[in-house]
Structure 1
Amino acid sequence: MTRPLSILHVITDLEFGGAETMLAALVSRPDPRVRHQVVSLLPAGAVRARIEAAGIPVSDLGMSRGVPSPLAIARLASLIRRSTPDVIQGWMYHADLLASLALVLSGRRQRTRQFWGIRCSDMDPSRYGRVFRWVLALSARFSACPDGVIANSQAGLDSHLALGYRPRRQAVVWNGIDTGRFRPDPQARAEVRAEWGVAESERVIAHVARVDPMKDHALFLAAVDRLTSGRVVLVGKGTEDLPRHPRVLALGVRSDVPRLLAAADVIASSSAFGEGFPNVLAEGMACGCVPVSTDVGDAAALIGPCGLAVPRRDELALAQALQTVLDWDAETFARHRAACRQRAESQFTMAATLDGFLQAYGK
């Protein structure tokens, strides 16, 4: 019997986020072809418990955000020597760079293959600090060092090539989602709507994103001001601190997102830049929510015929798209909800995502 491929995943942190959630879903799915291990640069956050519950070893290097640590790099090099992985898969810029350095220090560069991960597109470095800009420049400069680069969107790969990335090998592997966790759930829908005080006849728009310049909450809330119907639920770190709005319920960070999405009718994304494969759109679609999104990253390709994509930073276009969906009759809405679930089950499976990674690794 063929020995499972040993994959060491290195990620910046394990707080709630698209990349972190995707990693947890990937490694938690049993598959005899692979054996996973996860390392977080920063003290591991809320997603760690989910990964460990699946029996996957998780370590953290104890770094502090924004503070380079030679000791942490030495710890990672030691871990690589002990665990002898076949592949190191990086997730995001800092983890990519530090894993490359640690692999060289471990003495296993000729025996362990390394792949970097691209999880975003069209980043706007001017909106972030000097350290981020420095890390991005270094990543482009040394992008030929790993054996390959795996992007979760075509838009992400294209934008990084434009930034100067010159990988030896490149692949695009769309994210998968757990369609068993993210699914229509009539019981959860009724319970959550009762908690919110929302009638079944009212249509609810969910917007799930941390407050960050990339996510453009200001544009979204301006679009909501133009709506003549519907209720809105904001989920994500910092949303509870946004200005109050009579039609909006802001919940902050939540660990029960599948349950909340089951209670919604529309999943919205208002990002201005930076998205690669917007997980939340796929997760919402799996729950039967109709997607309405700005056309950032691979959002339009992901949505397909199931929803609407509009130009980024266009408040009026976003408002009109949301209102169009809210005004659909019951039959049209039901047809689109069913199509969303079907597309999620056929296009965004974890099995297809793992197959894509293994193909990129040459397996």
Structure 2
Amino acid sequence: MRVCHVITRLIIGGAQENTVLTCRGLVERGHEVLLAAGRETGPEGSLWPQAERSGADLVRLEHMRRAVNPLHDLRALRELVSLFRRTKPDIVHTHSSKAGILGRAAAARAGVPMIVHTIHGMSFNRTQGAASRATYRFLERRAGRHTHAFISVADAMTDQAVAAGIAPRARFTTIRSGMETDRFRPDAAARAAARAAWGAGDDDVVIGTIARLFDNKGYEEILAAMPAMVRGAPEARFVWVGDGARREAYRERLARIGLEGRVTFAGLMPPEEVARLLSGFDILVHASRWEGLPRAVVQALLCEVPAVSFDNDGAAEVVLDGVTGRLVRYGEVEGLARAVIELAKDAGMRARLGAEGRRRVVQDFDWRTMVERIERVYAALREARGGC
């Protein structure tokens, strides 16, 4: 089949990694694949180099931008309609909010026979004002009218979409966001090297976070919990992997609370380097305010690093409280601190939860498994629509 994937930006991020791996896998399985994305990147880094190695044909969309801009959005819509009419894909498969709304509208206008959308995270969420939430909910309902199949990275995404009236449950399939699981495994040499680079000793407990440096990723909540964490676990050190617009603001906040010496800003890392760093962690903290299903948590579990997470969106589907990590009620900063302290003080618990975490996710989150399941959705959709 000829498949066109569309995403807003190819920054370093979970939805983008998922999309590039999907394109790579579909190419390997004999499909003709086109990947279209806006040129815009940012401080989060770029996945264009990985996309170029995927084997897919690439199109850089001139007018696809993350920010809402009616002029650029209209031009991006026209650009996509022209692309689909020219390339005549059997399937258009969209990802992310802006590309999802514009891409599906363009595909319908161009007469594309099959339209699929992956929900990596809802476009409307608790961090938005009421007007923004209502607008995105309305746009998603409109887009849902001409979406033949939805893929959700977590059951929670399906539940939220169905509750919002976007489409009936029968159109949704949950397929876990795949990753190169063979890269992510416990590695003693990598652990020693990473901890040496951070200045962490054998008795230190390294508490890591992997996320872009902006507030929606929960850094404000982590910062609020850190004084209690350090009081309860003086051996705690923190490593933050990622970059973003709030880096200097977080540095200033750490200086004000006297903890700047406790945090290593590891900076932006390409996806292939993340596994090496994860081996150096003892605990992963994920405090995102909204996220479909956090890939960093899965990657940590693959490396047998237990996770502490807010019970938010799809996190509870991988962070099983007392089984693979500790799950904390959303927004409870004191609970976040208590959970981290508990794990920091109990190496045996960390080892047990980490090992169980790897056992539970290693197969379900393999990128090849993801591609096979996506291909089955395509095949079922084609059959249901009369072999179009």
The amino acid across from 1:151 in the alignment is S
Decide whether the 8 Å contact of 1:144 with 1:166 is kept in 2. Answer: yes
Alignment-derived partner of residue 249 in structure 1:
264
CA distance in 1 between partners of 2:119 and 2:335 (Å): 29
Query: 1:319, CA displacement in angstroms?
Result: 0.9
Distance 1:163 1:269, change over 3 A: same
Alignment-derived partner of residue 92 in structure 1:
96
Mapping of residues 180-199 of structure 1, within 5 Å:
180-199=182-201
Tell me whether 1:312 sits opposite 2:314 in the alignment: no
Alignment-derived partner of residue 366 in structure 2:
349
Distance 1:294 1:131, change over 3 A: closer
Decide whether the 8 Å contact of 2:282 with 2:306 is kept in 1. Answer: yes
CA distance in 2 between partners of 1:103 and 1:158 (Å): 25
Alignment-derived partner of residue 40 in structure 1:
37
Tell me whether 1:138 sits opposite 2:139 in the alignment: yes
The amino acid across from 2:378 in the alignment is Y
Alignment-derived partner of residue 86 in structure 2:
82
Tell me whether 1:148 sits opposite 2:144 in the alignment: no
SS of residue in 2 equivalent to 1:180: helix
The amino acid across from 2:19 in the alignment is L
Q: Could you give the per-residue CA deviations for residues 224-265 of structure 1, whole angstroms, max 9, x where no partner exists?
A: 221223211112233532122232222343223222212112
CA distance in 2 between partners of 1:80 and 1:99 (Å): 10
Decide whether the 8 Å contact of 1:151 with 1:171 is kept in 2. Answer: yes
Q: Could you give the per-residue CA deviations for residues 283-316 of structure 1, whole angstroms, max 9, x where no partner exists?
A: 1111221111111112122123211111010011
Q: Which has the higher helix share?
A: 2
The amino acid across from 2:195 in the alignment is R
SS of residue in 2 equivalent to 1:143: helix
The two structures have a TM-score, normalised by structure 2, of 0.83
CA distance in 1 between partners of 2:150 and 2:6 (Å): 14
Unaligned 5+ runs, structure 1: none
Over the aligned positions, Cα root-mean-square deviation in angstroms equals: 2.4
The percentage of counterpart residues that share the same residue type is 26
Alignment-derived partner of residue 238 in structure 2:
232
Decide whether the 8 Å contact of 1:12 with 1:91 is kept in 2. Answer: yes
Alignment-derived partner of residue 360 in structure 1:
377
Mapping of residues 46-125 of structure 1, within 5 Å:
46-63=46-63, 64=65, 65-68=67-70, 69=72, 70-106=74-110, 108-109=111-112, 112-121=113-122, 123-124=124-125
Decide whether the 8 Å contact of 1:240 with 1:252 is kept in 2. Answer: no
Distance 1:341 1:57, change over 3 A: same
Distance 1:134 1:332, change over 3 A: closer
Query: 1:146, CA displacement in angstroms?
Result: 1.4
Aligned length: 354
The amino acid across from 1:276 in the alignment is G
Decide whether the 8 Å contact of 1:28 with 1:56 is kept in 2. Answer: yes
63-72 vs 262-271, greater mean Cα deviation: 63-72
CA distance in 1 between partners of 2:49 and 2:188 (Å): 27
Unaligned 5+ runs, structure 2: 381-388
The two structures have a TM-score, normalised by structure 1, of 0.88
The amino acid across from 1:340 in the alignment is G
CA distance in 2 between partners of 1:163 and 1:302 (Å): 24
240-249 vs 291-300, greater mean Cα deviation: 240-249
